[in-house]
Amino acid sequence: MAERTPFSLQDKHILVTGASSGIGLSICKSIVAAGGKVTGTARRADLLAEMVKELGEDRSSFIDADLASDAGIDKVAAGITEINGFVYAAGISKLSPLKFIKRQSLEEVMNINYFSMVLLLAQLTRQKKLKKNDNSSIVLISSVAQQVGTKSSLLYTGSKGAMSAASRVIANELSSQKIRVNT
């Protein structure tokens, strides 16, 4: 039996959004490397299938779903069993100066980067999918950009700022169940 370290995810099952590429895919690889099992979700089933092939079917699985829709959120919540952790790495970035921002772009970025995160977490907690009192963890991938205020990044930084603010509320609500929440 392998020695258990503070970074071990042995016997832990983690759900990761945005798992088909970038940060989400790297997180999936790290979870498996630390001994955990991962279920990745994203829109691209072909890339998710490649992830499972690389990581192994015994350590990984996927749910192809578009979190921009309620149907996609419902599909992920229904497709997942009890989990020890959740990583929200799905996200999009659009750069636009303030004077050119339109409602459609604002809604698109907020929908994926913030609304879907809140709605999926609401489903997972309502359906009791996150293990309580087992040192479970929620990690929301935000950005330091929300603290910097770089020109033309209002859409992205606003959504990540909303995520960071929400994480404090979610942490307070779930602390009694020993579920940690970090951004």
- Catalytic positions, written as ranges: 156
Residue with tokens 């699985």: 61
The residues pairing with 38 across neighbouring beta strands, listed in sequence order, are 14, 60
CB distance 114 to 163 below 8 Å: yes
The full DSSP string for 82-145 is: -BSEEEE---------GGG--HHHHHHHHIIIIIHHHHHHHHHHHTT-BPSSS-EEEEE---TH
Can you read off the two tokens belonging to residue 93? Answer: 């970035």
Helix or strand or coil: residue 161?
Answer: helix
